[in-house]
Amino acid sequence: MKLLESIGKRIEGTAKTMLTCFIANKRGVRFYERLGYEKYEDTPGPRILRNGTKVECDYVILCKDIT
């Protein structure tokens, strides 16, 4: 991840790195959070189906500022 971030810093105009991680991968989500990644504001929220059932998204978008 440090290599990815260092490459991103060298690319002009790159302000952050982003990734997706399945919510069920709790160890993965914790790993990225420890590295400073936070839930991206445009991560899809729950959907309400026609029958009223609430369906949660099965992934989260994480991002980290690298500027």
Position 67 pLDDT exceeds 90 = no
The range of the structural domain enclosing residue 50 comes to 2-65
pLDDT over 70 percentage in the chain: 100
What's the mean per-residue pLDDT of the chain? 94
Task: Give the type of residue at 4.
Answer: L
Task: Give the model's pLDDT for residue 51.
Answer: 95
pLDDT tens profile 1-29: 899 999 999 999 999 999 999 999 999 99
- Map the chain to HEC letters: CHHHHHHHHHCCCCCEEEEEEECCCHHHHHHHHHCCCEECCCCCCCEECCCCCEECCCEEEEEEECC
- Which CATH number characterizes residue 40's domain? 3.40.630.30
Q: How many domains does the chain have?
A: 1
Position 40 pLDDT exceeds 90 = yes
The closest of 45, 35, 40 to 19, measured between CA atoms, is: 40
In terms of pTM, does the model score above 0.85? no
Output the six-digit token pair for 58: 């099965």
